[in-house]
Each structure stands twice: as structure tokens, then as C-alpha cells.
Amino acid sequence: MKVSRRDLLLGTAGLTAGIFFTPVPWKVLDDVSIWTQNWAWIPQPPRGPVTTKLAACTLCPSGCSLRVRMAGGFPVGVSGSPAHPLTKGALCPLGFAAHQLNWHPARLQEVRHQGRAASWEEARSAFEKACAEGPIAIVDGRSGRAASIVLQSFAAKHKASYDALRNAEEKSLAPYAKWANVSVSSLGYDLENVRTIVSFGAPLLDGWGVPGRFTHLWAERAAGESDPQLRLIQIEPKLSRTASGAWRWIPICQGSEELLAASLASVLIEEHLVPAQGPVPPASVTDAASQTGLTPAAIRELARAIVDRKPVLCISDGESPAIAALNLLLGAVGTPGGILPKSGHPLPMPPASANDKPLRAVLIDSTVPWEYVAPEGAEAFRFAAWDGGGSRAEWLLPAPGFLEELSDLPSPPTCAVATYAVAPNLLSTSAQTKTAAEFLLQIDPTLPAIDQTIRARCEEIFRARRGTVHAAKPASIASFESAAKLEQALRDGGVWLDDPPAHSPLKCSLREWPGNSGNRAPANWATTWAQPVLPPLAAKLYQESSLRETPQRSQS
């Protein structure tokens, strides 16, 4: 029998009819729909048990405690630790996405010399050669750490200069440090006991100081109240977030803060609103009125409002001797609710050394803001975990990233009570990364090792018998049997908080009213962040919403 075309067609018809009586179409449809859910380019989250480890953020001097959720050795989530005595669990907006930073496309993976790949050996020999040839400077963006001790010791031993950069908050304390002849890092603001804060542009509710510290105080004592226990007077040209939350917003023209401070001082003296006598500010209310845009009556009213509820404290954004002098007049220096020295401060700072000859080379630590430019003609050895682009440094040296570096955390700049904590390295970093301290330790192994410094500091705290360690529960220092146990508690995520300082007066001597320090461009919300890149999810704040303006990296 010959098979005809009709046979084939009928056979196919039978096949088609039959297939629907088999599982094939239904199973294939089901499987294909599942297959479409599993495209290779849809990333799958990791599986596996999630453990929570305690750590601390080292991306800014605040050193917030973190609870890091880990799966498969990688961080999969970050939140604050409520046990931290200052943050009480808060983090800055960038902190919540910081665990993704290490995989930022701009991550520096290898040593780069003038744009081409190089090796650590080449960098080391170039640096040693530079040290031999001429004066070098070591620039530290966050002094006081165990790593800073390595940098300082190297500088001292090898006749280099050590330059500790100050951020805006530390700079606001600089005038008092100068007048009282103490170090900037030994001072802080006693916000917890103040009743009126006059902020000259300092973003107290938006990135100033330790996250959570002031925001919690303000939320409890001031938010929404028409007559708050804590009066925040925000003096700045634009309606910032802090100004929106303030009790009073005083808009003034850009750059007239110091003149306003001087005229407020003169009103306070004229109207006998302050007991203290001091240098008379050479500013009249009418001068200030024309420069600030406020009426003379408004300036007088402001002066009266400032002293209405004491203690009162003025905070400037950056270094401002005039505003510091106002504080002196208001009796805010060395008294509760004002600028206080941190007592028992266990971390001595050597002064920055000066150098007149042109520098041969500069070693720039990864804590230095990306915008820092080395002096002309100096070969720059720039440590950084991320390449922000546009760097003129000859050497880009890959530093450890987020949670990859064992570090200690000295007291943050604005705190009036000393703290100490240790940030563990939860993540192992590749052999390609080194901190500036490790680099110098390889060149000179006699420098004090990080572990050594941490141990010494723990011993000092232990011997002083002051303060409490805040972990799952606060524990007084007396409850620790040995310095080693204290050190372990800190390495496990505890934070040591000193007892409130016994009030030792801060003697500031000021003969004449300081001159104006000149215009300073106000900082954009992202400029307090030293790293050249933001966590990728931060784009939700400025690109995928109009909540914040696109961050501008500015020289500061």
C-alpha cells in the first residue's frame, strides 16, 4: 500500500488530536512558564542561613554601630545597633545601602601609576625613593585612630610632616581650641543639656554630628511643639531641612553670619543681657541689618530670644571665630550645655608639624576627602577604596572597603563625652588592598601595630575605671575583670562611653573681637562623605525622586 498525502495529513491530524490526550501540552506550558521566570539575567538572591554580626561603620568619624546581616559570607543588610549610646540605632541615609559599596563599579581593584596598572612593590620603591630624596607629608583625614598613630609615628621617625585634616564640625571647635590652648579633638558640644541652640547654618538635623544623637533629642523635646523644651534657632539663607524643623528660622544673606554674630554680641552687651564682659565687637546693628537683610528690630529681638532660655549654645558650620566669640560672651564655653572638654580623653594628639620647603611627595590616607589636592610638584600616593575619577595623584593605591578594615573608633568630633569602639573586619579583603598604615608598617615594621595600639588603649581605659561599655546591656567598667576582657567586649561590638566629665573650666583668653573669616560656600548634603562615590541606592534620594538635589562634590 502506498502512503498518500492524505494518509500523512490524517496521520498528522491524529497526532495533533492525540497530543491533547497526553500530558505534553500541559506540562510543556507549565514548564515554559517556569522557565520564563528564571531567565539567566535575573539575579537571584543568595540562599542560606542569615547570621547577624555586630560591626561599626568607618565611612565617617561618627563610627555608628551596625548590625550586619550576613549570608554566605556576604553582607545582605545593614541596620543600626540600638545599643550604641549616641546613635541609639540610627544611621545616616547612606549607611543603609553601604553594604553594597564594595561592589560599586568604581571600586579600585589594583595599584595604578599614572593611569596604568602597577604593583605594590613599585609603589613601595617609589615611596621609599621619595622619602630619601626630600621632605614628604602624610595627610590623615581622621586623626586619633590606631592607624593615625602609625602615620604619626612614621612621620616623626622619618622627619616627615603629619597633617591632620579637620572636617567642618571639628573646624567649628577650632577657635576654642586655639584660645584655650588645647587640642580640637578634646572638645565637644554638650547638646544633651542645652535649651537653646543657635545654629548658624550647621545642618543639625541633616547630617551634622553623630546620626541619631541630635535627631532623637530634637524629636523628643522639640518636634511639633510650639513652645519646645529645646529651642532650635536656625540662621541660614535657605530653608533647609534643619530650618524647616527649627523653632525659628532666621533667613539671612549668604556670608553675613559672622557680622550677625558680632552685632548680636553688641546688642547683648548694650542691653545688659549677658553678665560676662569681653572684647567689644566692632559691629553696629545697622551695619548688620544692611548686610544680613534683617531689620535692626529683628536683630534685637533675636538677641533677646537667644538668652530667653539658658543654657544657650551657638554652633557654626565650619570655623568661625566670631560665632565662637559670641559663645564665649554667652557663657557657653566650659559650662554644661556648652562646649566642654572631654575628660579623661585617652588619645593624645601630637600637633601637626609645619614644613617650609616644597614637598617631594605626599601620602594621602583613604580617610581624606577625594577632593583634596596635593601641593603642586609633590608626587601623590593616594589611598582609596573607590576611584572617584579626576584625581591628579600619580599613584592610586587600593585600600580596603566597607567592613574590610579592622579599625578603632575614637570619640566623634562633636561629642562632649569620650567614647571608644572597635570596628572589626567582617569581610576579608583581597591581597591587593592595603591601608596606608599597613603600607608604612611594611616599610618600617617597628611602628606600633594596630592591634598593639588597640590593646594599649583598652588597658588605659581599664586602668582609669571610668565609664560603661554598651553592648546588649550596658556594663560598668568595674564589671570587667581584665583589660583583655574589655578589649574582647569592644571587638565584639561594644561601645565604651566615658562618665560625664567633671566640669573642669575651659579657660579661653580672647583679647579682641576676631575678624571675619570670609565667605565659605555651604556644604551640599553629600560633601560630608569623604568617599568619592555614594552607595548606588542613594540615587533613590536625588535621581529617582526629587527629595534631594543631585550631590555636587565641592572643594572643602
Partner 1 sequence: MSARYGMVIDLDRCTGCGACMVACAAENNVPPLPARATDRTGLTPMLVHKVNNGLEGAGRREAFIPIACMHCANETPCVSVCPQQAVEVDKATGIVMQIPQRCLGCRYCMTACPYHARYFNWWDPSWPPGMEKTLNPGVATRMRGVVEKCNLCHARLHTAMEKAAAEGKKEIEMTDYIPACVEACPTNAIQFGDLANPDDPASQAAHSPETFRLLARLGTEPKIYYKSRQPWVRALAERSASGHATEGQHV
Partner 2 sequence: MNRHVLAFAIGLVFALVAGWVVFPRVLYSHQQQPVDFPHKTHAAKSGNADCDGCHPFNSDGSFAGIPKNDTCAACHTDKLGTSPAEAKLVDDYLKTGTTTPWLVYSRQPANVWFSHAVHVKRAGLACADCHGALGTSDEKRLYEQDRISGYSRDIWGHSISRLRRAPHDGRTMSDCEDCHHKRHIEVGCFGCHQ
Q: Is 16 in the site for partner 2 (CB under 8 A)?
A: yes
SS3 letters across 253-320 = CCCCHHHHHHHHHHHHHHCCCCCCCCCCCCCCHHHHHHHHCCCHHHHHHHHHHHCCCCCEEEEECCCC
21 binding partner (options partner 2, partner 1, none; Cβ < 5 to 8 Å by kind): partner 2
445 binds, among partner 1, partner 2, none (CB under 5 to 8 A by kind): none
Q: Which of 41, 49, 235, 500 binds partner 2 (CB under 8 A)?
A: 49
Closest by Cα among 244, 236, 249, 233 to 201: 236
Residue 78 within binding range of partner 1, rule CB under 8 A: yes
Binding flag, residue 17, partner 2 (CB under 8 A): yes
Q: Indicate which of partner 1, partner 2, none lies near residue 78 (CB less than 5 to 8 Å, by partner kind).
A: partner 1
- Name, in order, each residue with C-beta under 8 angstroms of 233's C-beta and a sequence gap of 6 or more: 196, 197, 198, 199, 246, 247, 248, 250, 302, 305, 306
Characterise 64 by phi-psi region: left (phi > 0), alpha (psi -120 to 50), beta (else). Answer: beta
Residue 310 interacting partner from partner 2, partner 1, none (CB closer than 5 to 8 Å by kind): none
Give the separation between CA 264 and CA 256, rounded to whole angstroms. Answer: 12
Chain residues 223-262 in contact with partner 1, contact rule CB under 8 A: 223-226, 239, 241-242, 244-245, 249-251
Task: Please say which residue, 45 or 351, places its beta carbon nearer to partner 2.
Answer: 45
Distance (Å, rounded) from C-alpha 513 to C-alpha 464?
A: 39
N- to C-terminal Cα distance for the chain?
A: 95
* Residue 355 or 524 with smaller CB distance to partner 1: 524
Contact partner, 22, from partner 1, partner 2, none, Cβ < 5-8 Å per class = partner 2
Q: How many CB atoms are closer than 10 A to CB 399?
A: 24
Contact between 96 and partner 1 by CB under 8 A: the answer reads yes
Longest dimension (CA), the chain: 125
- Phi first, then psi, for residue 251 (nearest 5°) are -75, 130
Residue among 2, 6, 47, 116 that touches partner 1 (CB under 8 A)? 47
Query: Is 97 one of the binding residues for partner 1 (CB under 8 A)?
Result: yes
218 and 206 in contact (C-beta within 8 Å)?
no
CB-wise, 6 or 511, nearer to partner 2?
Answer: 6
Amino acid letter, residue 386: W
List the one residue from 539, 549, 550, 552 that touches partner 1 (CB under 8 A): 539
Q: Which is nearer to partner 2, 38 or 446 (CB)?
A: 38
Residue 76 binds partner 1, judged by CB under 8 A: yes
- Residue 205 engages partner 1 in binding (rule: CB under 8 A): yes
28 makes contact with partner 2 (CB under 8 A) = yes
Count of residues binding partner 2 (CB under 8 A)? 32
Asked whether the beta carbons of 401 and 107 are under 8 A apart, the reply is: yes
Cβ 455 to partner 1 shortest distance, Å: 33
Q: Least distance (Å) from partner 1 to the CB of residue 499?
A: 26
Phi, psi of 187 (to 5 degrees): -110, 160
Instruction: Please identify, using beta-carbon distances, which residue of 46 and 134 lies nearer to partner 2.
Output: 46
Minimum distance from CB of 39 to partner 1 (Å)?
Answer: 7
Q: Which of 465, 437, 433 is nearest to 450 (CA)?
A: 437
What are the b/e assignments for 285-310, b being 16+ CB within 10 Å? Answer: bebbbebbbbebeebbebbebbbeeb
21 belongs to the binding site for partner 2 (CB under 8 A): yes
What backbone phi and psi angles, to 5 degrees, belong to 316?
-100, 160
Shortest spacing between CB 43 and partner 2, in angstroms: 10
User: What does the binding site for partner 2 look like in residue numbers (CB under 8 A)?
Assistant: 1, 6-8, 10-19, 21-24, 27-28, 30-32, 34-35, 37-38, 44-45, 47, 49-50
User: What does the binding site for partner 1 look like in residue numbers (CB under 8 A)?
Assistant: 37, 39, 41-48, 50, 69, 71-72, 74-80, 89-97, 99-100, 102-105, 205-207, 211-212, 215-216, 218-219, 223-226, 239, 241-242, 244-245, 249-251, 535-541, 543-548
